Amino acid sequence: MWINKNEVIKLSDNIRRIIDGQAIDLRNNREGVWGILRNDIHTLANLKNEQFDVLQNERDLMKDTLTNISHQIKTPLTSMMIMADLLEDAPADKQAEFLSNIRTGLTRLEWLASVLLKMAKLDAGVAEFSKESVTSDNLINLALEPLQILLDVKNQNIEITGNTDLVCDKRWTVEAITNVIKNASEFSPQGGIIKIESFTDPISNRISITDSGPGISANKISGLFRRFEGSRWDKGYGIGLPLALAIIRGQNGDIEAEGGGNGTGATFIIKFYKH
């Protein structure tokens, strides 16, 4: 087959322009090897551009994530450094107050670092989920253990009903449930009740967690699971619920939020699909 030299030059020029990031359609409807070659080059160029877009989005996400992490860590560190500088010359009552605030800040930073490391594992795809049979009662009781001090300080009660069998990674699932219950505690009043119910339907096994707060408006529900922005708590980081969602979705599940309101608290339903 004879190919015009000018066509080859034009194709070569267009390929260079595509390499530079321009969007050019190389396809044509001509039969024969020349048409096939142009179409194949067009397909290859599209794959290259798609991969570039994916990498660019990942870089943007990483940049935003690092910016948010830096902000979340810098704020409490700055506060603690100021209190540490003032500690020596402060009166006794202020020293006690500063020390208490520094301990609280360090505890929050420790929790933040732990959560960020877990999220990094999930993002990198290196978190391994094992499967074992476990009851929802067992998971809930384990999830409540690290929250007992918080619940006692706020004089909050837990009401647990139902029990169901689950197949999941016990350690990771406990982490997810802990974060959802912690969220419920933070938005329940002093002396409030947190209701936890386990049940099953033809599609999934479920654990629902309902707080006794004022509920969530419908327009805010979607933002609850976006990192660093979905916290309803002014001192929150907005990463507990996104971490919980990533863990459950990594095990063929999902988390659904219901806003409540009018005297009903918000409900978060953890779902493990059966198939």
> What domains can you pick out in the chain, each with its CATH number?
1-127 (1.10.287.130), 132-273 (3.30.565.10)
**Residues 245/230, Cβ–Cβ less than 8 Å:** no
Q: What is the pLDDT of residue 128?
A: 86
CA separation, residue 196 to residues 77, 134, 211, 221 (Å): 36, 17, 9, 20
Average pLDDT over residues 250-268: 90
Q: Which of 34-48, 140-154, 215-229 has the weakest average pLDDT?
A: 34-48
Query: What pLDDT band is residue 2 in, cutting at 50, 70 and 90?
Result: low
Q: What is the pLDDT of residue 229?
A: 66
Percent residues over pLDDT 70 in the chain: 84
Considering only residues 74 and 198, tell me which one the structure prediction assigns the higher pLDDT: 198
Instruction: Sheet containing 204-210: give its strands across.
Output: 157-161, 193-200, 204-210, 267-273, 253-258
DSSP-assigned states of every residue in 3-48: --HHHHHHHHHHHHHHHTT----------SHHHHHHHHHHHHHHHH
Q: Look at residue 45 and tell me whether its pLDDT is greater than 80.
A: no
Q: What is the pLDDT of residue 145?
A: 93
Question: pTM for the full model?
Answer: 0.67
3-state secondary structure 215-236: CCCHHHHHHHHCCCCCCCCCCC
**Residues 261/215, Cβ–Cβ less than 8 Å:** yes
**Residues 80/106, Cβ–Cβ less than 8 Å:** yes
Q: What does the block give as tokens for 246?
A: 């990533």
Query: What pLDDT band is residue 131 in, cutting at 50, 70 and 90?
Result: very high
- Computed over every residue of the chain, the mean pLDDT equals 83
End-to-end CA distance of the chain: 55
The residues near 44 (Cβ < 8 Å, ≥ 6 apart) are none
Q: What does the block give as tokens for 251?
A: 């095990």
List the one residue out of 98, 96, 223, 247 whose CA is nearest residue 169: 247
Q: Which of 10-14, 63-67, 131-135, 251-255 has the weakest average pLDDT?
A: 63-67
**Residues 200/164, Cβ–Cβ less than 8 Å:** yes
**Residues 176/212, Cβ–Cβ less than 8 Å:** no
Considering only residues 209 and 123, tell me which one the structure prediction assigns the higher pLDDT: 209
Q: Which of 41-55, 76-90, 211-225 has the weakest average pLDDT?
A: 41-55
Q: What is the pLDDT of residue 148?
A: 92
Query: What pLDDT band is residue 84 in, cutting at 50, 70 and 90?
Result: confident
Average pLDDT over residues 110-122: 79
| Phi-psi label, residue 42: left if phi above 0, alpha if psi -120 to 50, beta otherwise | alpha
Q: What is the pLDDT of residue 135?
A: 97
Average pLDDT over residues 260-274: 90
Average pLDDT over residues 185-202: 94
Q: What is the pLDDT of residue 234?
A: 47
Q: What is the pLDDT of residue 230?
A: 53
